[in-house]
Amino acid sequence: MIAFTICSNNYLAKAKVLLNSIKSRENVKVFLFIADLKSENIDYESLGFDKTIFPSDLEMQNLQWQLENYNIVEFNTALKGVAFEYIFERTDEEIIYYFDPDIKVYKKLGDFEPYWKNSSILLTPHTLSPLPIDGLFPEENLFLNHGIYNLGFLGLRRTPISIAFLKWWTDRLSEKCIIDLKDGYFTDQIWFNLVPLFFKDVEILEQHGFNAAYWNLHERDISFNNGHPTVNKEKDLFFYHFSGFDENLKVLTPSDKPRYSFDNKPNLLPLYKDYLIDLNKYLYLHGAKVIYYNGLYPLKKKQLTYLERIMKRLNR
């Protein structure tokens, strides 16, 4: 069993918190894939990951194309497929878990084992129940646009099905890991709407303790029981996804019309304060002195006009 994450240099503090949350519970290898240049200002060996891999180590045929055409978010997510392949090809591990760097794990990864049920792929849906139609964020169109499943987590077991899936997925991430909602693309995530249809050996984790986050708080009430976080006072919290984390703890949901805040979800404040304490241990890694790819490539891409989009499509 191996776990890994992917981040640019500016997210190393969060990756370190993820690492510690896994390593503090069991002895498992955790790899770090850097979606960035190696910085002379960072001692990667001291971070504690079992292995640190850079894009130049991945033998990607179109690496330069991706750097020139993907923004920082697209490039980070495009590396997931080749990162899985890298680990499968260079180790004999049977199970690999991917976690976004802004996740904290609260259980041993060994406790995930009963959820495999001989499947090849583990997925977590964004939500397991309907959201109100009340004009507040998030609403169900968030998942219709960004994908049914959240790819902040993905588990793969070494089988012919998972290897075939990786080939299919990686081919698409190679040039279509883009944010273009009008054309039906949202990085690596939208493709997974098709995965349970194309690759039958899929386990969808319908357990509230997996991948809890601001987008499913309508069905998940998180509190502490004897120091351990629980969901709905009955299930263990396996991991929480601190997406859009506000270090000032003013905002719970990144929206001007949030459904939930720390005022109406006060039980979440201890969880977020605990995460902030962890982050503050690694302020020196916050990335103030590092720039994505030394400024060679933009963090964001210019939004194309409708005419530019049509011309781009015709010139493919």
- Kindly tell me if the per-residue pLDDT of 306 is higher than 50: no
State mean pLDDT over 123-127: 97
Closest CA to 114 of 50, 209, 25, 28: 209
Task: Give the rounded percent of residues in the chain with a pLDDT score beyond 90.
Answer: 82
What does the pLDDT read at residue 284?
Answer: 81
- State the Cα–Cα distance between residues 206 and 227, nearest whole angstrom: 24
Interval 59-89: pLDDT, tens: 888 999 999 999 999 999 999 999 999 999 9
- How many Cβ atoms sit within 10 Å of the Cβ of residue 237? 24
Rounded to the nearest angstrom, the gap between the alpha carbon of residue 192 and the centroid of all alpha carbons in its chain is: 14
Residue with tokens 């910085």: 39
Separation CA 247–CA 276 (nearest Å):
7
Angle at 106 between CA 102 and CA 112, to 5 degrees: 100
pLDDT at res. 288: 58
Q: What's the mean pLDDT when you consider all of the chain?
A: 91
Answer yes or no: are the C-beta atoms of 125 and 148 closer than 8 Å.
yes
- Identify the pLDDT of residue 59: 84
In terms of Cβ atoms closer than 10 Å to its own Cβ (0-12, 13-18, 19+), residue 183 is: exposed
Cβ–Cβ under 8 Å, residues 171 and 60: no
Q: What's the pLDDT at 58?
A: 93
- Judged against a pLDDT cut of 80, whether residue 311 lies above it is answered with no
pLDDT tens digits, one per residue of 153-212 = 999 999 999 999 999 999 999 999 999 998 889 999 999 999 999 998 999 999 999 999
What count of Cα atoms within 13 Å lies in the side-chain half-sphere of residue 140? 7
Residue (of 286, 297, 271, 288) closest to 15 by Cα position: 286
CATH class assigned to 2-314: alpha beta
Burial 207-224 (b: 16+ CB within 10 A, else e): ebbbbbbbbbbeebebbe
Write down the pLDDT at residue 310: 46
- Cβ neighbourhood burial of 43 (10 Å; 0-12, 13-18, 19+): exposed
CA distance between the termini of the chain: 41
The whole-angstrom separation of Cα 72 and Cα 297 is 9
SS3 for 11? helix
The whole-angstrom separation of Cα 97 and Cα 206 is 17
Vertex 279: Cα angle to 277 and 283 (nearest 5): 115
Instruction: Please give the pLDDT value at position 301.
Output: 66
What's the pLDDT at 287? 63
Q: How far apart are CA 231 and CA 224, in angstroms?
A: 9
What is the average pLDDT across 287-302?
A: 79
Structure-block tokens of residue 253: 């949901």
Report the pLDDT value the prediction gives residue 308, as an integer from 0 to 100: 53
Question: How distant, in Å, are the alpha carbons of 156, 172, 188, 257, 259 from that of 167?
Answer: 13, 9, 13, 40, 39
| CA separation for the pair 128, 124 (Å, rounded) | 9
The domain segmentation of the chain, as residue ranges, is 2-314
Alpha carbons 25 and 2: distance in angstroms, whole number:
14
CB atoms within 10 A of CB 63: 16
Q: Are 292 and 63 in contact (CB under 8 A)?
A: no
- pLDDT, tens only, 19-65: 999 999 999 999 999 999 999 889 999 999 999 999 999 988 899 99
Pairing mode, if any, of strands 51-53 and 29-34? parallel
pLDDT in tens, 220-276: 999 888 878 999 988 899 999 999 999 999 999 988 899 999 999 999 999 999 999
Q: Which two tokens stand for residue 22?
A: 């896994």
Nearest to 23 by CA among 51, 44, 48: 48
Longest Cα pair distance anywhere in the chain, in angstroms? 61
